[in-house]
Amino acid sequence: MPQADLSLEELRRYDPQLPAPADLEQFWRATLDEAGEWPLDATWTPVDSGLVTVETHDVTFAGAGGSPVRAWLHLPAGAVRGDGPLPGVVQFMGYNGGRGLPHEHVFWASAGFAHLVVDTRGQGSGWTVGDTADPVGSAAAQPGFLTRGVLDPRDYYYRRVYTDATRALEVLRGHPQVDADRVAVAGISQGGGVALAVSALAGGVRAVMADVPFLCDFPRATRIAAGDPYGEIVRYLKAHRDRVQRVFATLSYFDAAVLGRLSSAPALFSVALMDEICPPSTVFAAHAAYAGPKDITVYPFNDHEGGEAHQQREQLDWLRGVLAAPSAALPAGPPAGPPAGPPAARTRAV
């Protein structure tokens, strides 16, 4: 497919300065305080994946509202027998994907990391399986997840998803074999957007890896994306013509191109210039808003698959470099605002 968005030169300058809700930080502090009333109650059950280089545990913990969330914990074989604390990666999944089968996601454990692969509640019946229900209902919505509860940020589906994700970070940082000061968050598409949200909302994020992230710059995405998932919002507003302002007001609480202003950890983005699902301008909007040190890798001839194995290699080298550098004190929660002065940024093309 052809490049249908802005040119790369225009993308590098694109910075929409999306308005943030006046109570954005208060909303998320109250949300996470509410979630904190539930103990994590994490359980770790060894499973036999059939692999000899990776040890896997079936994980359950209490997410938003105390609802159980499932995950896999992968460790390098032998790590549970005491080779010292491991760096960690918390991985969030793409749209309608789940944690999958125990042997599906073992790259990071094979590279020496503790790797938590987290379900997205209610999802996991698309390209891979999941095991986490979403017991909360919603008013009438389009098929899919983007419009569930979209008339009120307190009821919105992604309020629960982002809360689950911040608690997943707590789970991995609290594992006895993990170095709590060396834990990164990562994901592709929806998982990349969720990782960006966690970097803004949770304390203790050492690094962020967001590949072709979804959930960015909703106002533009809904107008130029070729199809779903952003099309769910389009169809909803096509029916509910009187709710446009209300819907976008809710979405602004969850937009990675808004929340990124609260982030401070180093971040590695990737973008594909022929992406028809997450238009590249929406990724650059999130990159421009991100307040921490940041790099972005550009794949000029790729669609939403992005860099795939090439990006994994890039991530591994980048993350090892970040973890080898002296770290600043990790924040205890959402900062009061973006840091003073412009953040460092680099753009790389492959």
On whether residue 41 sits in a domain, the answer given is yes
To the question of whether residue 158 is assigned a binding role by annotation, the answer is no
On whether residue 332 sits in a domain, the answer given is no
- 224 and 5 Cβ atoms separated by less than 8 Å: yes
Q: Which residues contact 151 (CB under 8 A, 6 or more apart)?
A: 139, 243, 246, 247, 250
On whether residue 266 sits in a domain, the answer given is yes
Q: Give the C-alpha separation, 322 to 184, whole Å.
A: 10
Which among 110, 42, 127, 118 has a CA at the least distance from the CA of 76?
Answer: 110
Q: What is the pLDDT of residue 80?
A: 56
Q: What is the pLDDT of residue 349?
A: 54
pLDDT higher at 140 or 278: 278
Q: Residue 251 is encoded by which pair of tokens?
A: 């979405």
Predicted confidence (pLDDT) at residue 342 exceeds the cutoff of 50: no
Local structure of 178: helix, strand or coil: strand
pLDDT higher at 350 or 90: 90
CA angle 323, 280, 318 (to 5 degrees): 15
Predicted confidence (pLDDT) at residue 40 exceeds the cutoff of 50: yes
Cα–Cα distance list, 310 to 116, 124, 196, 317 (Å): 22, 25, 21, 11
On whether residue 149 sits in a domain, the answer given is yes
Sign of the four-CA dihedral 222, 280, 125, 174: negative
Q: What would the pLDDT profile of 159-170 be if each residue is shown by its tens digit?
A: 999 999 999 999
Note down the domain range covering 182. Answer: 8-326+341-349
If pLDDT is split at 50, 70 and 90, which confidence band does 127 have?
A: low
Active site (catalytic) residues: 189, 275, 304
Predicted confidence (pLDDT) at residue 117 exceeds the cutoff of 80: yes
Q: What is the pLDDT of residue 11?
A: 96
Share of residues in the chain with pLDDT > 90 (%): 83
Which CATH number is 207's domain given? Answer: 3.40.50.1820
Per the structure, how many domains does the chain have?
Answer: 1
Q: Give the C-alpha separation, 307 to 96, whole Å.
A: 20
Q: What would the pLDDT profile of 53-103 be if each residue is shown by its tens digit?
A: 999 999 999 999 999 999 999 999 986 555 679 999 999 999 989 999 999
Q: Give the C-alpha separation, 206 to 171, whole Å.
A: 15
Which among 147, 145, 150 has a CA at the least distance from the CA of 233?
Answer: 147
Average pLDDT over residues 189-198: 98
Predicted confidence (pLDDT) at residue 126 exceeds the cutoff of 60: yes
Picking from 71-80, 263-272, 295-304, which range would have the lowest pLDDT averaged per residue? 71-80
On whether residue 318 sits in a domain, the answer given is yes
Q: Are strands 43-47 and 54-62 parallel, antiparallel or unpaired?
A: antiparallel
On whether residue 2 sits in a domain, the answer given is no
Q: Residue 241 is encoded by which pair of tokens?
A: 């013509």
Predicted confidence (pLDDT) at residue 238 exceeds the cutoff of 50: yes
- How many residues appear in the chain? 350
Q: How far is CA 245 from the centre of its chain?
A: 26
Which among 186, 145, 157 has a CA at the least distance from the CA of 64?
Answer: 157
Q: Which residues contact 156 (CB under 8 A, 6 or more apart)?
A: 148, 149, 150, 250, 253, 254
Q: What is the pLDDT of residue 2?
A: 77
